[in-house]
Structure 1
Amino acid sequence: MKIVHVVEPFASGIATFVQSIVQNLRDDYHIIIHGEREYVMRSNEIIKYFPEENVQFIRWRSAQRSISVVKDTVALVELCKLLQRLKAQKMVDAVHLHSSKSGFLGRLACRLMNIPNVIYTPNGAPFLLSNMNTVNLLYKLFEKLGSAFGGKVVCSSRSEQAAYRKLGINALNINNGIAVDTSHYTPGKVPAASGKFRIVTSARIVQQKNPALFNTIATHFKDFEQFEFIWVGDGEDRAVLTAPNITITGWLPQSQAMELINNSHLYLSTSQYEGLSFSVLEALSLRKTVLLKNCIGNRDIVKKGLNGDLFSNAQEAIVKIFQYYNNPAMLRIMGEYSGWLCHNEFNVDTTCLGYRNLYQRV
């Protein structure tokens, strides 16, 4: 099959998601129409991690993050032209749209180009982002309007699916999955007791990931020398992370990021919402205990008390961190369950088979 992926942004977890599909569906040919957010990661840095034999990249030059009637109209026209050309060359068996901006413009473009075989994976419901009800209402309207253009919405977690169905959109669910080569690491490794208790997260430093909450939690431990916090990644809200015990590494190659997670005691996520975080799944694969903000996406990963816990505010997270610090044996036991859970519920083979079957059905 010839599958066209439309991606904005082409970075972070969404890039990882597309990469996993391309790598695991090697008998299909993938054409990736992508935007670029240079301040996050340049596309040529991402492309080098893709296989060479079954993929083609096309730059979607006018795509951008912010909502603008003029700029988005330009991006829509460009996307229509790209899809029209590929359709004329018989290079479109299915179109897979990734993230909300691609989902809205892509479904409209496919409707205009009379392309019926369309799948949209939000990878995080955008109408859950803002604390302002009017903004969330606007995103809900966009999602419902986009759904009216056609295509099938496929959510990456059950809780995200429930949010879309509550909105009146009949979404499907295919869990995100990973296949991490852990042969270079020692999964379940807990750093020596003489070292600091390391708490790590890996994500863009943006509002969705709630760096302000991460900073509040870290600030509570600033006078405890035995605790350190590491944020792997970068982003526009970097200045929010002011606690002196937080280290910001910037963007690292996956192997280095994995090494930092592997050498940590605890993985912490303060996200406001997720689709299903690949970074958290990587932590599971390395048999790490996870402490996650109770939100859509995150709550599908935690089996409370077995591989970690959910928290609703900073105080709850702080109490849990002290409990983990004082019970290293509990960290090891929970970490083992994390590894089992990742293998059985978030396996990339199951994910890609689900999408392959869906490509054929649509």
Structure 2
Amino acid sequence: MAAAGGTAVRAMGNDALIVKWNKFSKAYSAVMEQWSWPSYASLVSATGLPVLDGSGLASWKHLDAAKAPSSSGKRPPLVLDVGCGPGSHSLELARMHPGLRILATDLSEGMIELARSRAAGVDNIAFAVASADSEEVAARGLATVAAGSVLAGEHVSDPMSEALRVPGGEGALLADAAIANLVMQIVPDTLAAFQGVGASLRPGAPFAFAVWGDRSRSALFTALPGALRSLEIPGLEAMQAEVAEAAATTRSGFHLEADVPRVKRLLAEAGFGPVSTWTTELPMPGGPVLSAQDGAARLIDLIPANSELAARVHKEGGDEARAALTRALEGRVQALMDEDAVLGLHVRVYVAAKRG
């Protein structure tokens, strides 16, 4: 892939992603619990899973009645949660609906360790370290690979041990639904990840996922870098050039929104269809933005990558540079407020069924 001007653009590899998310696991967890829950809940609803209101198991109309799992003695529904991070949302779903069985995966050991540390007393969920787009996953299915890891370890309850064993001991483990919240945009190989999920689902089972959407409507991750680019302060030139070079050569988290038809084609190639898609917005956590100063402060304080960037500006440019960055960011926030724009992240949701 190449950017404008012929610059080669590369996706961050899994090894680099592991280092990044291990480092940010605890800080990311605090933010994730606040602002990404509405997106996760919408995926749960879109798949036909139980609505998160304590009402109990849904009808699972997408499954053949003879095969449909239920709470009446048949195998409980198994949900594959791809890229679960620190497990906050997965655990909430498990606690609210004990009739489900949830297999949650992430490629970051740090994220999975944090998730397991929170899972005491919750016996209808298991966590596994697994890459969504590895060759093994694409061939065997993410659920099968992750279940093998869980069953070989020490972190499995009796209910999950039963749920993760393939009847007869042969073949693939097939889940009844899969969700992936705000993770598919960072997976290096999108098609391989779709194939790995597809190989993990029963015919007719739904796959719902959310990804970063329109960059121009996503101030949560774009406003601060934009403010940095606008500064003209001696001493920051090298840093600005480095940040610009990284942005020009590293695949953007918004890349899937640039070609929605391609995403649909990849889903079809992986065995999914038909595909439904729509967009929504996740507001910045912390309640209504009261002023440009309030919004700018939250953009810096609540997002680990923004906090790190602001700290680096202060280190390399001193108090003057840090103050200038804040003023520039406040100006951008005020402009968004004047336009009645959502100060947050624009999200695109996809839902597709595994073809039989």
TM range (shorter): 0.3 to 0.5
- Larger CA Rg, structure 1 vs 2: 2
- TM-score, normalized by length of structure 2? 0.39
**Which structure shows the bigger proportion of residues in helix conformation?**
2
- TM-score, normalized by length of structure 1? 0.38
- RCO higher in structure (CA 8 A, sep ≥6): 2
